[in-house]
Amino acid sequence: MEVRVYFIPTEVPEEELRGRTAVVIDVLRASTSIITAVAHGARGVIPADTLESATEMVTRLGMDDVLLCAERDMHRVDGCDLGNSPAEYTPDVVGGRLLVLSTTNGTRAVSRAGGAARILIGAYVNAARIVEELSDQETAVLICAGNSGGFALEDAACAGFILQRLAHTTGREMIPVNDGAWVALQLGRRTPRNPLRMLRRSAHGQKLDEAGFASDLQLCAAVDSLPVIPRVRDRIITGESLDPAG
């Protein structure tokens, strides 16, 4: 299986996405929050690149069951219903509702993946589900959201974690097509079953801890805790649960 990993969304060539499945990874915290939202019954999540476009979208929709969710510099934007903490996306808050979400890194990464045949949202919390989805693919492109245009350890390590589990589950060799995939595979071999310690040591994890979001790190490190697969369809992210019978 040929794999490509990009640590910064702006580095992804459009031609690398055509006809392929892309997985967008923003462990801290957009991917985890999106996965949590759809697992807890949200009707869908519309990613927006900017706060202005998110606000315009909510105004245009004009429905009572639409929530405006936005984060900048780790904190909820004033006047928004939710920020970017997965702890906020509880069933009683998001169940049956449509969310419009804009974050510093994650939602922009989703936009960057727009040329792919399929776009999935991945993190530690749904790693097993992502592995299942990629198991029959000949190629995979994993896009790390990064942190403010730079490398993010937690996203790269999660990409490697997924690839290592994919190789173990399917017995297929992971062939790194680019340097990012090679580095991710090395990180994956060193990522423990419980990545919490790594998240706490990462630069962004430390900033979240200092900002009062230490409990979010535990939620983001909960491997396979949310067996759903968020997919982008017609610019809306919706989720499918793992069928226990299947």
Distance of CA 67 to the CA centre of its chain: 19
How much is the pLDDT for 240? 75
Domains of the chain: 2-241 (3.90.1560.10)
CA distance 218 to 213: 10
Could you read off the pLDDT of 194-214 as tens digits, one per residue? 899 999 999 999 999 999 999
Please state, for a pLDDT cut of 90, what percent of the chain lies above it: 93
Q: Are 131 and 100 in contact (CB under 8 A)?
A: no
Considering the entire predicted model, what is its pTM? 0.95
Could you read off the pLDDT of 129-172 as tens digits, one per residue? 999 999 999 999 999 999 999 999 999 999 999 999 999 999 99
Per DSSP (E only), the strands in 21-136 are 21-25, 44-47, 66-72, 75-76, 98-102, 118-122
Q: Average pLDDT for residues 29-46, to the nearest whole number?
A: 98
Could you read off the pLDDT of 62-115 as tens digits, one per residue? 888 999 999 999 999 999 999 999 999 999 999 999 999 999 999 999 999 999
